[in-house]
Structure 1
Amino acid sequence: MSADGALARVVRSAAERAATAETERCELCAARVAAEHPHLYDTGAAEVRCVCGPCSVLFADGAAGEGRYRLVPRRRLRLPRVDTAVLGVPVGLVFFVPRSDGSVTAQGPSPAGAMRWEVDAAAWRELAATVPQLAAMTPDVEALLVNTVRGLDEHWIVPVDDCYRMTAVVRREWRGLSGGGRVWSAVERFFGDLTERS
């Protein structure tokens, strides 16, 4: 997935969203979209696309578009602690995305965008066997979002667009080599604002 392309399309601060709400358009029909709007995952381009409500309904059951577009769900589910150490990713702020082809990627936000690793698919399957919610994730469009930085222990299943918003927070707030004082407070606020929804 092209994180920078998705960030450019999906992620804006609340002020930027309000300022551009009148001009932001559905990428399928060109209708204006609200500040909070649905997204589609474009499997051909590996990018997230903004869509209006009526266009999103076309993809709700997965039949439209011959599989090229997948509706990004709105579900957020807070999980108890998940031992992701078995996945071999050495960072505390990361999201894991299972893919339609059976592979799994891990992406960690950085001042330059999302860093990406391939995760051992067998290790992911073993972990999902112990955490049934992981096995039920929708490939390509849902992620396991983890934050164990600075003593936090946050584990969520979220839509991938939430992950891009979090990556944008890190890019916007990062200062110097270590991130500075602002970035981690902003990340904590981001996680504090997450709410469960079905």
Structure 2
Amino acid sequence: MSGALARLIRSGPAGAGRPETCELCAAPVAEEHAHLFETAADEIRCVCGPCSVLFAGQGAGGGRYRLVPRRRVRLAPVDTAALGVPVGLVFFVPRADGTVTAQGPSPAGAMRWEVDSGAWQGLAAACPPLASVVPDVEALLVNTVRGQEEHWIVPVDDCFRMVALVRAEWQGLSGGGRVWPAAARFFAELTERS
């Protein structure tokens, strides 16, 4: 992965020292800005407000770029055990081709697994809001670490912000004393932004 989110993951949340620019027109972008998913490269791109408007409609840009939505929906706890991912902080991204990936944060960035698409479809049947997750640009974000029960439908850029946060705060073998409070603040901010 390269592009905007790879830079975010490499630099961590404190890497905001240099101003970001739109990856389509090079105009400066605000700290809170839109993102596009570039389908051919499987990457997220930062965009300014005017450029994001160009891709707001269904099929805009011939499908080459897709605007990452801003929807954040907190769900009742979802039993993700059938998806077979052995970590408690993870996000699941259904893909346009029908596959599903799971990604979890680590000190080195995002770890990635393939998830059985039939298991995902079964989960979506049991939890109807999951059937509305927009492929490639939205995800199911789960936090069951340390007794938490957070289950969200979020834009994929939120997921990669979480990965960057964990990478920046992780210390030692178990994460140290900063990473889990930082993750709790991240989920509290999701509540405020939803």
TM-score range, shorter chain: over 0.9
Instruction: Report whether the alignment pairs 1:75 with 2:71.
Output: yes
Which residue matches 1:155? 151
- Equivalent-residue separation in structure 2 for 1:142 and 1:128 (angstroms): 14
Contact 2:8 2:161 in 1 (8 A): no
Contact 2:68 2:156 in 1 (8 A): yes
Instruction: Please report the TM-score for the alignment, with normalisation by the length of structure 1.
Output: 0.91
**1:4 offset after TM fit, Å?**
8.2
Instruction: Look up the SS of the partner of 1:180 in the other structure.
Output: coil
1:168 partner amino acid: A
Which residue matches 2:27? 31
**1:147 offset after TM fit, Å?**
0.3
Instruction: Please report the TM-score for the alignment, with normalisation by the length of structure 2.
Output: 0.93
2:36 partner amino acid: L
- Count the aligned residue pairs: 193
- Equivalent-residue separation in structure 2 for 1:63 and 1:80 (angstroms): 32
Which residue matches 1:186? 182
Which residue matches 1:100? 96
Superimposed CA distance per residue, residues 13-58 of structure 1 (whole angstroms, 9 cap, x where no aligned partner): 3x644x43xx321111111111110000111111100001111011
Q: Percent identity?
A: 70
In structure 2, the CA distance between the partners of 1:196 and 1:158, relative to structure 1 (3 Å rule), is: farther
Structure-to-structure mapping, 1:16-55, within 5 angstroms: 16-17=15-16, 19-20=17-18, 23-55=19-51
Contact 1:24 1:32 in 2 (8 A): yes
Superimposed CA distance per residue, residues 108-157 of structure 1 (whole angstroms, 9 cap, x where no aligned partner): 00001100000000000010001111001100000000000000000000
Instruction: Look up the SS of the partner of 2:177 in the other structure.
Output: helix
1:132 partner amino acid: P
